[in-house]
């Protein structure tokens, strides 16, 4: 029986991303090592070492047949499922070149792994097949539209479907699909991607008319770089890799014997009725139930993106109501719980095409979390996973991410001062004073649940919800937010941008918010200035799209006027001091906290205008020209991005530890407080907790104004991967902090 190391302390990680890949089981790793070191022969060699290797190869092939129920047909060893898919597609398309159909189509399930449609499109083009590549739609449960298949099967050169989906675990009724395909087309090539089905559902391929079925070792505890392709007897075949004639000439290249040995052990474990490595289905269902309860206990309400009745037990795909997938992923990762975003299988994607194909609402597609475990998961590991998930509950409550169920809420005020909330590059600002009075500037629809949670958990009274102008690229979220906040919002008659009618300022504890008309980006643009009453200085200027970090907003839109912008900037300058923080409506450059001094220094036409080197007319004509030139930019409505040249100093872990050994050096954790709270950074660096400060990017502006940082002091910045902290280090460097170092690679490389 193969066993994993069972973590005995809560700091250990728990891996819940088995649909992406799995660790190699110790028993499998042992035979892989043995095959690399002892039984390392080349199966093509005629000596005894070679014969032993060949025996292992053929024995594994037979075991593969037994596991997938392939009494007939070919079993080929490949480098993985992607190669298996190429081989199947190329074989089919080469054979189908003489098809004689007037409107040939290639069909694939809309929720298929990208390896399938991309391979079909690629070879369709390269081989000049010129078939129409069509996605078979799915319903809201992710089930393929059989009528669509029935309609197109007669013209199809190939039909590709999958047994189990990698994002949702949803399985298809292969018997029903087969019935439809074969009733319309006896001979069309049918490929079924079985990658996520192995070890989770029984397979009997020779009892079906599936022509090709690719499998991958690394999805089930074998090493990466090894897979199997089943080819039905008589199905078209063209070797995808030619060469020395290995695999009976069907796939050349010296066989990956260590990988094959790994599969051998994996198949033995799957076939052994008495072995307990792979858990029975009932137990896997029990695991899912346990994880489900732990998640609900921790996060409150969840929305599942798949029906448990239509999916394998090892996948849970869900959205935490009111939290973005990024927030949940960051929190999990900080706590050592490895899960993935629902779109993890397509790197860089911000939403899930699988959930989109199922017609789920955007927020579900954008914020999906996939938690998946392998069928060798032990009860102890599941218990540990649930314990780790539940340990997040106090962190969530303390950071206003969930509503506390305590009857006597002792919620610490965690948004005192200014917080920047972002959706993509758009910024919304929440300012809270010591009396829990708040103002919200430029709210964004997508952020409403987050703002609502912050306001309600901290019992804030929102005095005003303001827009800096009528945003042309989105509808205002002011009214919707106001109604969501209920009696936390002090509703007063207000103008179109939310300013209370008849008031010259909004009075807050120690500060007051003033309004200044600053047309330019649009005629109705205003800036809100937060005045520190004691210092009689503007701390923050909420300027909408008048100014963008390191640049000026666009004037080449309806209502925009570069002359008016020049006058607004001159007027604004009368109110600002160099240390006033500019809080824009967009932050494309991830600057977070630029002040008026830096803004002037980095915006040439602004400084020239203020210095009197440009007249209003000259400024206006220059600005007009640059705006016209920027028209082709991806987001011309609000403004454009100029690159600020800043290069913060990057340090290795060793150098960071060296710097931090000085008691005067401070470590700034730039992750969100909920991530910071999930692990003990001071302990990781063997330093006192007084040397550690948590300033997330969203609170950078606040930290600057509250003078939490000292220009003369040495700081090492860190985050999970080194990206956020690099942005923060760049920002501080721009602001003139001299001794700022970023830990390159972040906590991940520690």
Among 41, 43, 73, 80, binds ligand PLP (CB under 6 A): 80
DSSP string, 165-208: -TTT-BB--HHHHHHHHHHH-SS-EEEEE-TTTTTTS---GGGS
User: How far apart are CB 246 and ligand PLP at their closest, in Å?
Assistant: 20
Q: Which residues of 621-653 are buried (b: 16+ CB within 10 A; e: fewer)?
A: ebbbebbeebeeeebebbbbbbebebebebbeb
DSSP count for the chain of H helices, then E strands: 24, 30
Nearer to ligand PLP, 81 or 620 (CB): 81
Nearer to ligand PLP, 356 or 618 (CB): 356
Q: Round to whole Å and give the CA distance between 192 and 205.
A: 10
Q: Round to whole Å and give the CA distance between 717 and 369.
A: 28
Nearer to ligand PLP, 115 or 581 (CB): 115
565 within 8 A of 546, measured Cβ to Cβ:
yes
Pairing state of beta strands 426-432 and 417-423? antiparallel
| Widest pairwise Cα distance in the chain | 97
User: How far apart are CB 191 and ligand PLP at their closest, in Å?
Assistant: 11
Nearer to ligand PLP, 117 or 639 (CB): 117
290 within 8 A of 382, measured Cβ to Cβ:
yes
User: How far apart are CB 587 and ligand PLP at their closest, in Å?
Assistant: 34
User: How far apart are CB 193 and ligand PLP at their closest, in Å?
Assistant: 5
Residues in 127-146 that interact with ligand PLP by CB under 6 A: none
Among 22, 35, 60, 82, binds ligand PLP (CB under 6 A): 82
Nearer to ligand PLP, 172 or 196 (CB): 196
User: How far apart are CB 113 and ligand PLP at their closest, in Å?
Assistant: 4
User: How far apart are CB 80 and ligand PLP at their closest, in Å?
Assistant: 3
Among 160, 174, 345, 447, binds ligand PLP (CB under 6 A): 345
Residues in 181-210 that interact with ligand PLP by CB under 6 A: 193, 195-196
Cα angle 256, 259, 261; round to 5: 105
* 405: Cβ contacts below 8 Å, ≥ 6 apart: none
Nearer to ligand PLP, 358 or 531 (CB): 358
> CA torsion angle for 532, 534, 537, 540 (degrees, to 10)?
-20
Within 241-352, residue ranges assigned H as helices are 257-271, 281-299, 325-334
Nearer to ligand PLP, 196 or 525 (CB): 196
Residues in 232-251 that interact with ligand PLP by CB under 6 A: none
Task: Candidates 80-88, 265-273, 396-404, 636-644: pick the segment binding ligand PLP (CB under 6 A).
Answer: 80-88
User: Rounded to the nearest 10 degrees, what angle do helices 616-629 and 562-575 cross at?
Assistant: 120
401 within 8 A of 323, measured Cβ to Cβ:
yes
327 is a contact residue toward ligand PLP (CB under 6 A) = no
Give Rg (Cα) of the chain. 30
Nearer to ligand PLP, 113 or 739 (CB): 113
Q: Total binding residues for ligand PLP by CB under 6 A?
A: 13
* 362: Cβ contacts below 8 Å, ≥ 6 apart: 351
Task: Candidates 75-83, 389-397, 685-693, 701-709: pick the segment binding ligand PLP (CB under 6 A).
Answer: 75-83
179 within 8 A of 210, measured Cβ to Cβ:
no
User: How far apart are CB 234 and ligand PLP at their closest, in Å?
Assistant: 25
User: How far apart are CB 84 and ligand PLP at their closest, in Å?
Assistant: 8
DSSP string, 110-166: TTS-THHHHHHHHHHHHTT--PEEEEEPB-TTS-B-HHHHHHHGGGEEEEEEESB-T
User: How far apart are CB 310 and ligand PLP at their closest, in Å?
Assistant: 16
Task: Candidates 74-82, 259-267, 351-359, 366-374: pick the segment binding ligand PLP (CB under 6 A).
Answer: 74-82
- How far does the chain reach from its first CA to its final CA, in angstroms? 33
Among 111, 166, 314, 315, binds ligand PLP (CB under 6 A): 166
Task: Candidates 78-86, 231-239, 348-356, 495-503: pick the segment binding ligand PLP (CB under 6 A).
Answer: 78-86
Nearer to ligand PLP, 73 or 80 (CB): 80
Task: Candidates 61-69, 77-85, 93-101, 492-500: pick the segment binding ligand PLP (CB under 6 A).
Answer: 77-85
Nearer to ligand PLP, 213 or 426 (CB): 213
Nearer to ligand PLP, 82 or 208 (CB): 82
Would you give the binding string for ligand PLP spanning residues 539-578, x where CB under 6 A is met? ----------------------------------------
* 595: Cβ contacts below 8 Å, ≥ 6 apart: 578, 579, 580, 581, 582, 704, 735
Question: What phi-psi label fits residue 248: left (phi over 0), alpha (psi between -120 and 50 degrees) or beta?
Answer: left
User: How far apart are CB 115 and ligand PLP at their closest, in Å?
Assistant: 5
Residue nearest to ligand PLP (CB): 80
115 is a contact residue toward ligand PLP (CB under 6 A) = yes
* 62: Cβ contacts below 8 Å, ≥ 6 apart: none
Among 22, 172, 216, 580, binds ligand PLP (CB under 6 A): 216
Of 117, 182, 170, nearest to 146 (Cα)?
Answer: 182
Of 222, 173, 169, nearest to 373 (Cα)?
Answer: 169
227 is a contact residue toward ligand PLP (CB under 6 A) = yes
Q: Give bridge partners of residue 440 from the DSSP assignment.
A: 430, 465
Q: Round to whole Å and give the CA distance between 408 and 319.
A: 28
Nearer to ligand PLP, 117 or 322 (CB): 117
Phi, psi dihedral angles at 509 (to 5 degrees): -70, 110
User: How far apart are CB 78 and ligand PLP at their closest, in Å?
Assistant: 8
Would you give the binding string for ligand PLP spanning residues 28-67, x where CB under 6 A is met? ----------------------------------------
Among 54, 61, 63, 113, binds ligand PLP (CB under 6 A): 113
Q: Which residues belong to the active site? A: 345
User: How far apart are CB 184 and ligand PLP at their closest, in Å?
Assistant: 25
The sign one gets for the Cα dihedral 386, 388, 390, 396 is negative
* Site residues (vs ligand PLP, CB under 6 A): 80-82, 113, 115, 162, 166, 193, 195-196, 216, 227, 345
């Amino acid at each position: 029986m193969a066993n994993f190391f069972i973590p005995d302390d809560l700091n250990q990680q728990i891996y819940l991303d088995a649909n992406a890949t799995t660790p190699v089981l110790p028993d499998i790793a042992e035979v892989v090592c043995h095959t690399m070191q002892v039984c390392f022969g080349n199966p093509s060699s005629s000596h005894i070492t070679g014969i032993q290797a060949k025996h292992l190869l053929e024995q594994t092939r037979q075991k593969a047949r037994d596991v997938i129920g392939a009494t007939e047909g070919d079993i080929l060893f490949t480098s993985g499922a992607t190669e298996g898919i190429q081989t199947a597609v190329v074989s089919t398309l080469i054979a189908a070149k003489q098809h004689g159909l007037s409107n040939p189509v290639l069909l694939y399930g809309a929720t298929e792994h990208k390896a399938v449609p991309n391979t079909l499109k690629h070879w369709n083009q390269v081989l000049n097949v010129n078939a129409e590549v069509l996605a078979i739609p799915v319903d809201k449960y992710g089930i393929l539209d059989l009528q669509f298949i029935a309609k197109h099967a007669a013209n199809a050169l190939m039909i590709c479907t999958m047994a189990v989906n990698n994002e949702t675990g949803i399985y298809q009724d292969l018997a029903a699909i087969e019935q439809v395909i074969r009733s319309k087309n006896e001979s069309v090539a049918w490929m079924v991607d079985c990658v996520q089905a192995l070890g989770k559902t029984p397979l009997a391929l020779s009892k079906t008319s599936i022509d090709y079925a690719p499998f991958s070792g690394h999805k089930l505890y074998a090493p990466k770089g090894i897979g199997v392709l089943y080819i039905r007897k008589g199905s078209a075949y063209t070797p995808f890799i030619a060469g020395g004639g290995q695999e009976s000439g069907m796939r050349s290249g010296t066989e990956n014997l260590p990988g094959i040995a790994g599969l051998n052990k994996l198949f033995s474990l799957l076939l052994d009725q008495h072995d307990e490595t792979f858990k029975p289905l009932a137990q896997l269902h029990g695991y899912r139930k346990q994880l489900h309860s732990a998640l609900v206990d921790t996060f409150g309400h969840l929305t599942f993106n798949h029906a448990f009745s239509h999916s394998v037990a090892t996948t849970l795909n869900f959205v935490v109501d009111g939290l973005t997938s990024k927030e949940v992923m960051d929190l999990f990762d900080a706590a050592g719980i490895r899960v993935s975003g629902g779109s993890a299988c397509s790197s860089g994607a911000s939403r899930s095409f699988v959930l989109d194909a199922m017609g789920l609402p955007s927020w579900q597609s954008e914020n999906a979390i996939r938690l998946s475990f392998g069928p060798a998961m032990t009860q102890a590991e599941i218990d540990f996973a649930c314990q780790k998930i539940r340990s997040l509950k106090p962190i969530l409550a303390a950071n206003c991410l969930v509503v506390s169920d305590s009857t006597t809420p002792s919620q610490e005020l965690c948004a005192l001062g200014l917080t920047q909330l972002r959706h993509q590059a758009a910024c919304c600002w929440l300012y809270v004073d010591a009396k829990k009075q708040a103002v919200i500037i430029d709210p964004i629809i997508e952020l409403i649940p987050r703002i609502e949670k912050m306001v309600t958990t901290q019992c804030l009274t929102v005095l005003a919800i303001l827009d800096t102008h009528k945003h042309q690229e989105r509808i205002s979220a002011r009214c919707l937010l106001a109604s969501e906040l209920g009696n936390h919002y002090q509703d007063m008659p207000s103008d179109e941008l939310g300013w209370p009618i008849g008031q010259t300022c909004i009075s807050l504890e120690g500060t007051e918010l003033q309004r200044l008309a600053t047309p330019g980006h649009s005629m109705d643009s205003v800036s809100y200035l937060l005045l520190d009453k004691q210092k009689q200085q503007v701390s923050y200027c909420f300027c909408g799209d008048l100014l963008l970090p390191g640049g000026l907003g666009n004037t080449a839109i309806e209502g925009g006027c570069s002359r008016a912008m020049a006058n607004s900037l001159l007027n604004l300058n009368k109110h600002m001091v160099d240390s006033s923080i500019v809080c824009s409506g967009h932050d494309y450059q991830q600057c977070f906290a630029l002040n008026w001094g830096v803004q002037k220094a980095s915006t040439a036409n602004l400084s020239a205008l203020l210095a009197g080197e440009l007249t209003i007319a000259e400024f206006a004509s220059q600005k007009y020209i640059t705006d016209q030139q920027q028209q082709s930019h991806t987001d011309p409505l609000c403004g454009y991005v100029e690159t600020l040249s800043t290069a913060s100093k990057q340090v290795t872990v060793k150098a960071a530890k060296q710097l931090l050994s000085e008691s005067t050096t401070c470590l700034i954790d730039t992750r969100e407080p909920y991530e910071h709270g999930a692990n003990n950074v001071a302990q990781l660096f063997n330093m006192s907790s007084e040397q550690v400060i948590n300033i997330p990017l969203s609170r950078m502006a606040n930290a600057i104004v509250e003078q939490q940082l000292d220009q003369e002091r040495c700081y090492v910045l860190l985050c999970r991967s080194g990206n956020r902290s690099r942005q923060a280090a760049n920002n501080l460097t721009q602001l003139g902090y001299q001794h700022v170092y970023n830990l390159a690679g972040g906590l991940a490389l520690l």
